[in-house]
Amino acid sequence: MIASVRGVVTAILHDSAVVEVGGVGMRVLCTPNTLAGLRTGAEARLATTLIVREDSLTLFGFADEDEKQLFELLLTANGVGPRIAQAVLAVHQPDVVRRALSGGDVAVLTAVPGIGKRGAEKMIVELKDKIGPVGPAGAGSAGLLNGAWQEQVRQGVLALGWTASQADQAVAAVAETIDGETPAVPVLLRQAIRLLGKAR
């Protein structure tokens, strides 16, 4: 089990980063929020979960242990695979997901691409008693600021399965809402996803 990786980031792709560890480049699948905090050429540490399949070994990376633990918890629900679990973390902060599971908030979960009403209800039933203590609303990190937010938000939307034209429309719509200081990339990405969710 590879619990974490630390090394220099040699490449950042739309859905993953390559981290060089001991001369070996490890491709780590990450949410757009996690990728937004990485810089090519800089050292990074990612908490990781290794998913072993008959035909593949896939490494998923997270900004911290909290995200990783929630990802692994989501995988224990029937019908939730790594891609859905990662999409949940791309759309919501861990504390938001825990509150939704604890309080039976189906709407929060169905905002995630790939989760319908029935799937959300099943997740709540299966995970409600496993999530542990839930923090108050508003807790959670504000994220990182970045000047090139448009491309990062666009890539994040594409990684979650929307088309290029939908991604461009979402970025344009989010840009119109910015008045003054630019919010963090994860905040902007969540706003884009909410807008796309309403348009479906």
Q: What angle do CA 128, 78, 121 make, to 5 degrees?
A: 50
Strand ranges inside 3-148, DSSP E = 4-12, 16-21, 24-29, 43-53, 56-62
* Tokens 């810089």, residue located: 39
| 159, 166 contact by CB (below 8 A) | no
Q: Of 141 and 186, which is predicted with more confidence?
A: 186
What mean pLDDT is predicted for residues 140-162? 64
Nearest CA-CA partner of 192 in 177, 174, 179: 174
Quote the pTM value. Answer: 0.70
Q: Which CATH class is domain 4-62?
A: mainly beta
| CATH architecture under which domain 65-128 falls | Orthogonal Bundle (1.10)
Q: Does 139 have pLDDT greater than 60? A: no
pLDDT digits (tens, 9 = 90+) for 66-118: 999 999 999 999 999 999 999 999 888 888 899 999 999 999 999 888 899 99
- How are beta strands 56-62 and 24-29 bridged, if at all? parallel
Q: How far apart are CA 156 and CA 30, in angstroms?
A: 10
Ranges of CATH 1.10.150.20 domains, the chain: 65-128
pLDDT digits (tens, 9 = 90+) for 153-173: 887 787 777 788 888 888 888
Torsion of Cα atoms, 5 then 10 then 15 then 21, to 10°: -20
Q: What is the band of 192 on the pLDDT scale with cuts at 50, 70, 90?
A: confident
CA separation, residue 188 to residues 10, 102, 153, 182 (Å): 25, 26, 7, 9
Q: Identify any residues that bridge with 6 across adjacent strands, giving them in sequence order.
A: 45
CATH of domain 149-198: 1.10.8.10
Ranges of CATH 1.10.8.10 domains, the chain: 149-198
Long-range contacts of 18-27 (CB under 8 A, 24+ apart): 19/44, 19/46, 19/61, 26/59, 27/59
Ranges of CATH 2.40.50.140 domains, the chain: 4-62
